Structure 1
Amino acid sequence: MSDDAGQVYAPPDRIAARFYRDPKPRHFKSSAASSRRNSLSSIQSHTSTRSLRRTSSCQSNYIAQHLRRASIIEARKARLADRAAHAEKVRLRAAMAKAAPRGDASASEGRALAAQLAREKKLAKVAAACAEEVQRAKQKAQEIKTKKLEEEKQARLDMEEKMADADRRRAEYKRNMTSRKSRRASEQEKKLADVSEGDDDTSPALNQEEMAARRIQRAWRVRQRRLIVRAYTDFHLSLEGIRHHSFEHVGSLLSGMPIIQATTKVLRLLNLQDKEDSPSPQATRTFLSAYLVILHPASVLSKNGAQEQHLNLKARDLITLFESVMSTLSLSNRFQAPVAMLQDLSQAYTTYVSAFDAWRAQDSSALVETMIASFVELDAIWQTVKDDTRGAVAEDYRQGIRDNQVMFLSKIRKLAGPERADLLIKKAIRESRRRRVKRRSAAEVRPRAAADIEDAEPDSSETLPIVAPPLPQNSVQTGTASQDDVRSNLARLFSPIPSNRILTHELAIDKDFRISSGAHSGIRDAINRELCNGMREGVERGMGTPWTVAMAQEIRAKLVHIVKPGNSMHNFIIEALDTDLIYRQCEQGIFSYANFFSFMANILPKLCAPFRDAQIKTLADDLVSNNDEDMGTMIEKLFRLLHFIDLLSLDYSNFLLMNAAPVLIRESAGYESRMFAADLASGAITLACTDRWWRNASVNLLTEADRRDPEQVRNPADRPTAHHVYTRGLVDIAFGQGPLNMTDVPETLALDVERLCAIRQKALHMTTIGSVLLVAKNMLKRDVRSPWKAEASRLWDLLSKEPPSENTSEDALASLSSRAFGVLESAHNLPPSTKSALQSAASRVITQASSQRFTDPVAKVLYSRLRSHVLSRVVARTSSERVRTASGASEALATAGLPEFVTQVGEMVETLRKVAEVDWASHSVWYEQVAREVSEAGDA
């Protein structure tokens, strides 16, 4: 053991494989060693020397790998140390650069920043200018595009008319050429027959065969023509044969396919239709419709105008000539009509077809216009009710309006084509909505001085206070109660703000109601003018100081009224327009009107609403210009300043009214009912006029019911209800004859007298214009259903500016009649006889309109039809009934002779319907009481 103490013994192979395993991964081993170890050539040597190298190789490989690993780790540590030293150097260098003073770098950066800002500002200015130019270019391009579209549309229509005319001429030319060819063929046959008969006997067998063939063909053609004529004559279709038959019987006979086929063959036999073309049932039906036009014109034609009379005449000429030609067809002439008669028949047929196409086109155009007007009327109704939030009115109307509009749209597209129908409907709806008053948004009408007013619901008490602008106040105040009462009465007289009851009533009828200055503007301007004139006279007498102080106090009182108390603007106005300070300045002679007007020019834009910006800019420029002029010019500026401040006060009142409108509308019915009950209790009013008005309406309805019931059955369903009685009475007031008498108006409608008078005036204008246009259409033999909108609009403007009344002189009526006739004369070419008759009719109708009593038959009929139409629409209660009556309104008015006033009648109906709803909601208790009394009196 001592000898072997320094010797190392290798462990067995299995143990050495576990403890001395190579720690390197396989892919880190040397490729040379791996390849040599794995090669096939070294297997034997590797096997033979394995036993010799087994003990030493394991230990040596392990030591070498350990040393290599240690060297790699040391190299990595050195590399990381170098990298950390470099990073530290960079950090120190950056810290030193940052701590060093910059010198002129800050100035350079400042200049660079200023240059950048200037560049951005310049770019923004250039971009704004470019955007404006682009907007103008787009607008100009849109205008040019619209103009080109209109020109293309007009050119397309002209081209369609020219093509239709060319097609008619082509068809007539082809028929004439066909008749000529047939005549030439017959003449050639006759010549050939004569030649064949006169030929010599050089080839007798050939000549006989040709003659036999020709005779066989001629006999076959004659037989075919005879069968065609016999098939048509078997129907016994003639004017005399069917004259006494009904329209339904004749229509069913002419619509059958056998007679259409037989007639088509006869028309081809007479060269009225091309034989090369396929059968055309439409052309044959057009020919057969001539019988209906002659025998039953009232059922076929919607009216008896000039075009209808022309069509009837051409149809009669065609059928008369056709029957005479058919009577000449016999075996003797081989069932061939004379050439001269065929030419006349062809010309009559062409003329009739042209007249029929023109009539059908005009009739369809009138029908399309009527249906478009109905479509637009339904859209107007939807625009009125779509914003309703108090109930399910919009939901009730939605489905009915949509169904009717879909029906109208399908019919319009069928008559006018899809593209043209969509274009016409869009244009009509655009014009209808453009006529509606443009409402300003809340931001536009909101005064800037009211920016801090909180939107709070006002108290729905008995008074419902609305702030009204104050009256001009004198510098000297008196405190007696009588003077306060007088001042209150004067404020109520001269103020444009109506009473609370009128405000709530107007808002209930029109939720967009706003206070307008109206006649009060002239009154307040007259007051301001008197103040300015008094100031001018006072200054001339040496009393400039009191007047200047009084005017400053008046302006301050008006301005602080439109500013919330406690506001900074309120305090600023009080301090700037201090009357004591102004008095001292005037006494010392240092008061300057130029500084005063400059102050007002700066303060007013901060108080007015945005939509007044253009007006206030013009006023401000006027106030600060020419400050060195005399006192007269300064007083004139003061007058314009007072006028504009009154407008600001009115805007402020309208703003307060707009905020309080929802609550006022909700409480309007109860408030008006309580006020009416208070007036009845105090004895200020009675129900005498209401009782008499209800009795008259009830008697009128019962009389009409008895007239419809001659056998006196007295069906309870025919008894008029309270709603029908009320509606009848309301329409009677709006469409009564003669001036409106206050005793005919019930006390419940006292607030609507002015509105009812306006409706009556509109009805008179419609009847007057409709009568003149209807007479003109009949004299010129035009379609009475086609609207003359341009003439009606000009006549409406003429009568609106100078409405005829009982106070109008005869010379003024004559001048008005002459100008009304001039409108028609400039629009249409009138024969001399028509001119005198139309001028006489216009003068007669306008004279009767001045007395509000029509005696002319045409005017009486139109006025009665208009009244019946409005009554039928106002009496409708459910949404389906209203939509149904509105959808048929255009056709009904066109039939009544008033196709030009669809929009005006719709507005009139909506006004009466709203008046009825508001009035019944407020006074239904008293109406029911009067109805019970009238019913009990009738039963007794």
Structure 2
Amino acid sequence: MPLNDERPASASSGEDQGSDVESSSERYDSMTSTSDLECSRESFTSDGSSKHCTPSSSPPIVLTLDEVMEAANDLFNLRLAHEISVNSNFHLEQPSLPQNCIWNTVKNTLHKTYWNRLESELNDDPPEYGHAILLLEDIREILLSLINPGANRMRTQIMEVLDIDLIRQQADNNAVDIQKLASYIITTMGKICAPIRDGDIEKLRENPDNIVTLFREIFRVLDLMNIDMANNSIEILRIVLQREGAVYEREKFQIILDKTPNALMHTTSWIKSAVEELQSATVPKGQENGQPAVLGPFQILNTAYLRMLTWDYSKDTVPETLMTDEMRLREIQQQLQQCQMVNEVLLIVHSTIGGPVQGLPFLSNRLKRMTSVLLDGMHSPNFNLEEALEGVSAKICCELNKSLTERDYPALTPALQDILRGQICSITQKDNSICTLVEDRVQQYFKALIFDSKSRVESEQIPAGLTAIKPELALLGAKFISLVNYNKTVYGPFYADIIRKLMFSNNPPAANPPQDTAHESVPSS
């Protein structure tokens, strides 16, 4: 949905723009496309330059239930489209419930009752076909929904063979051939199913004597075919979304923003915190009361994204523009924290033991794998980190003694083992010097990535002391930068508007606010 009744350009429209320059107006002009570079500073100071994304608080708006439900539906569509776009493994699976779950018990009871009723009717003399006809009608509708829109000949044939009115007439005269109808249904399923279901179709063709069991299996396979069709549609949709997804998501978010104008409250707070962090870091000593440093939009936004690596999800609300990626960001953060802890353990080992373990990549890799395994799941609620580190230190001491004795070195003394164990267990303490060192250097690595994502950080640029986790850092860095760049592409115009208002909120509004902010965006790098 466009801003100010115009379609915002994709963030990629600003990818070729230059870096931040000296004057503040030129810095913020870099957030717009070429057609906007002629705008004056007033275009950034006007309160009316954009209908939305204002950092100031919005008046409360009363929404009806229908509006709330419609907004929820828009949010669901936005999340679904985003998941399909960024998650190549996203697909539907047949739902499964635990065996002892009450819902599973209720479902099985109802299904058993239905199929028992059907079997009882067909075994009557003469047979009753009421439930069987309803079942055939359901199967016909499912088959029609599974065939391609252009398969008119097959559609006509299904309607003719499974003519419910004709079947009712046959039932009245006790002339329904259920086996023949079931055979036709199985043949039709074989023609339209995915290759992965060929085995299931063959089992149906074995034609068990119990017709109720056969129809029960037919419905099971039809359910699987429905899921196959949905997943095929997802794959087709993914191709479209990867090309047009950013525009679609931006339009959907604009619709949500139209209905709930305060939907960028947490995003504004997130960006504002980054601005304050940068301003406090760039004020020269002794000039705290002077003019604040002039910040560039890329600098602000990239600093805000870096904060997500250390975000406290238990206390702070995720910015609205990042909610679709919250689980992915959490996963990156947790994997990064585990990598950091593994690296800290290895640094302690090498600094404590010294020469006898230096230059032994096989030993380092073995200690790394062993520590990673023992720390796996460290973010789960029931995980005891102190106990796990005790186990890590004991295993490492055992492994080191084995390696040392094999190379004719003396084993670790009990005193040295106690020192090693104490240092490893102390990494859970706040302000631990080794932890602070590793965390700072990891931040340096990601800062270099995010501020210069086009040219990949070379191997020699890995900060000293992080060599042991270099492959993991590269993988997590690629995931993080991919999320950041896609997010910038989708929400660039909204970020531009927020940053502009934050930086120029004290300036008077322009006499004639511009009406065209269609191309405002924050490029993806």
TM-score range normalised by the length of the shorter chain = 0.5 to 0.7
CA contact (8 A) 1:690 1:747 kept: yes
**Correspondence for 1:645 among 225, 230, 242:** 225
**Correspondence for 1:861 among 400, 413, 437:** 437
Task: Report the CA distance between 1:818 and its aligned residue.
Answer: 3.8
Task: Report the CA distance between 1:537 and its aligned residue.
Answer: 1.3
Q: Identity, % of aligned pairs?
A: 17
Change in CA separation of 1:578 and 1:746 when aligned onto 2, cut-off 3 Å: same
Which residue does the alignment assign to 1:654?
234
CA contact (8 A) 2:84 2:234 kept: no
Which residue does the alignment assign to 1:569?
154
Q: How many residues align?
A: 421
Task: Report the CA distance between 1:776 and its aligned residue.
Answer: 3.4
* Structure 2 CA distance for aligned equivalents of residues 875 and 719 of structure 1: 18
Task: Report the CA distance between 1:726 and its aligned residue.
Answer: 0.6
Which residue does the alignment assign to 2:329?
756
Task: Report the CA distance between 1:763 and its aligned residue.
Answer: 1.3
Which residue does the alignment assign to 2:28?
none
Task: Report the CA distance between 1:639 and its aligned residue.
Answer: 6.3
* Structure 2 CA distance for aligned equivalents of residues 529 and 651 of structure 1: 28
Query: Greater helix share, 1 or 2?
Result: 1
SS in 2 for 1:656: helix
**Correspondence for 1:934 among 502, 511, 523:** 502
Deviations 1:897-939 (A, max 9, x none): 352342x322332333333333333333332332233223589
* Structure 2 CA distance for aligned equivalents of residues 625 and 773 of structure 1: 61
Task: Report the CA distance between 1:522 and its aligned residue.
Answer: 3.5
CA contact (8 A) 1:505 1:668 kept: yes
Task: Report the CA distance between 1:803 and its aligned residue.
Answer: 4.6
* Structure 1 CA distance for aligned equivalents of residues 154 and 397 of structure 2: 60
Change in CA separation of 1:670 and 1:739 when aligned onto 2, cut-off 3 Å: closer
* Structure 2 CA distance for aligned equivalents of residues 828 and 558 of structure 1: 67
Which residue does the alignment assign to 2:474?
906
Which residue does the alignment assign to 1:771?
344
Task: Report the CA distance between 1:874 and its aligned residue.
Answer: 0.8
Which residue does the alignment assign to 2:447?
871
* Structure 2 CA distance for aligned equivalents of residues 516 and 758 of structure 1: 19
SS in 2 for 1:627: coil
Which residue does the alignment assign to 1:691?
268
Higher relative contact order (CA 8 A, sep 6+): 2
CA contact (8 A) 1:777 1:784 kept: no
CA contact (8 A) 2:375 2:388 kept: no
Change in CA separation of 1:783 and 1:656 when aligned onto 2, cut-off 3 Å: same
* Structure 1 CA distance for aligned equivalents of residues 229 and 446 of structure 2: 40
> Quick check: 1:679 aligned with 2:256?
yes
> Quick check: 1:808 aligned with 2:377?
no
CA contact (8 A) 1:731 1:871 kept: yes
* Structure 1 CA distance for aligned equivalents of residues 343 and 297 of structure 2: 33
* Structure 2 CA distance for aligned equivalents of residues 819 and 622 of structure 1: 52
> Quick check: 1:915 aligned with 2:519?
no
* Structure 2 CA distance for aligned equivalents of residues 528 and 559 of structure 1: 27
CA contact (8 A) 1:749 1:919 kept: yes
CA contact (8 A) 2:78 2:253 kept: no
> Quick check: 1:731 aligned with 2:316?
no
| Unmatched segments (≥5 aa) in structure 2 | 1-11, 16-65, 123-128, 404-411, 509-525
* Structure 1 CA distance for aligned equivalents of residues 448 and 251 of structure 2: 32
* Structure 2 CA distance for aligned equivalents of residues 786 and 716 of structure 1: 53
Task: Report the CA distance between 1:688 and its aligned residue.
Answer: 2.0
Deviations 1:88-129 (A, max 9, x none): xxxxxxxxxxxxxxxxxxxxxxxxxxxxxxxxxxxxxxxxxx
Task: Report the CA distance between 1:795 and its aligned residue.
Answer: 5.1
CA contact (8 A) 1:690 1:746 kept: yes
* Structure 2 CA distance for aligned equivalents of residues 584 and 869 of structure 1: 76
CA contact (8 A) 2:92 2:231 kept: no
* Structure 1 CA distance for aligned equivalents of residues 418 and 166 of structure 2: 76
The correspondence of residues 469-484 of structure 1 with structure 2, limited to 5 A, is none
The correspondence of residues 572-611 of structure 1 with structure 2, limited to 5 A, is 572-579=157-164, 588=174, 592=178, 596=182, 602-609=187-194
SS in 1 for 2:379: coil
SS in 1 for 2:281: helix
CA contact (8 A) 1:854 1:860 kept: no
CA contact (8 A) 1:722 1:931 kept: yes
Task: Report the CA distance between 1:505 and its aligned residue.
Answer: 3.6
* Structure 2 CA distance for aligned equivalents of residues 775 and 589 of structure 1: 84
Counterpart AA for 1:899 = A
Which residue does the alignment assign to 1:177?
none
Counterpart AA for 2:448 = S
What is the root-mean-square deviation of aligned Cα atoms in Å?
4.8
Task: Report the CA distance between 1:718 and its aligned residue.
Answer: 7.1
* Structure 2 CA distance for aligned equivalents of residues 793 and 590 of structure 1: 67
Task: Report the CA distance between 1:821 and its aligned residue.
Answer: 6.0
* Structure 1 CA distance for aligned equivalents of residues 482 and 217 of structure 2: 45
Deviations 1:419-475 (A, max 9, x none): xxxxxxxxxxxxxxxxxxxxxxxxxxxxxxxxxxxxxxxxxxxxxxxxxxxxxxxxx
* Structure 2 CA distance for aligned equivalents of residues 933 and 829 of structure 1: 63
> Quick check: 1:619 aligned with 2:200?
yes
Counterpart AA for 1:616 = R
* Structure 1 CA distance for aligned equivalents of residues 506 and 460 of structure 2: 37
Counterpart AA for 2:146 = I
* Structure 2 CA distance for aligned equivalents of residues 675 and 793 of structure 1: 44
> Quick check: 1:501 aligned with 2:78?
yes
> Quick check: 1:710 aligned with 2:285?
yes
TM-score (norm 2): 0.63
Task: Report the CA distance between 1:682 and its aligned residue.
Answer: 1.6
Counterpart AA for 2:149 = P
> Quick check: 1:886 aligned with 2:494?
no
Deviations 1:243-279 (A, max 9, x none): xxxxxxxxxxxxxxxxxxxxxxxxxxxxxxxxxxxxx
CA contact (8 A) 1:697 1:728 kept: yes
SS in 2 for 1:933: helix
Counterpart AA for 1:866 = V
SS in 1 for 2:458: helix
* Structure 2 CA distance for aligned equivalents of residues 832 and 921 of structure 1: 58
- Please identify the structure whose Cα radius of gyration is greater: 1
The correspondence of residues 286-685 of structure 1 with structure 2, limited to 5 A, is 499-506=76-83, 510=86, 513=88, 515-517=90-92, 521-522=95-96, 533-541=109-117, 542=120, 548-567=132-151, 568-579=153-164, 588=174, 592=178, 596=182, 602-609=187-194, 613=195, 615-625=196-206, 627-628=208-209, 634=214, 637-638=217-218, 640-658=220-238, 661-662=239-240, 664-683=241-260, 685=262
TM-score (norm 1): 0.38
Change in CA separation of 1:677 and 1:538 when aligned onto 2, cut-off 3 Å: closer
CA contact (8 A) 1:791 1:823 kept: yes
| Unmatched segments (≥5 aa) in structure 1 | 1-389, 394-484
Change in CA separation of 1:513 and 1:583 when aligned onto 2, cut-off 3 Å: farther
* Structure 2 CA distance for aligned equivalents of residues 570 and 821 of structure 1: 69
Task: Report the CA distance between 1:546 and its aligned residue.
Answer: 5.5
Counterpart AA for 1:565 = P
* Structure 1 CA distance for aligned equivalents of residues 503 and 214 of structure 2: 70
CA contact (8 A) 2:390 2:421 kept: yes
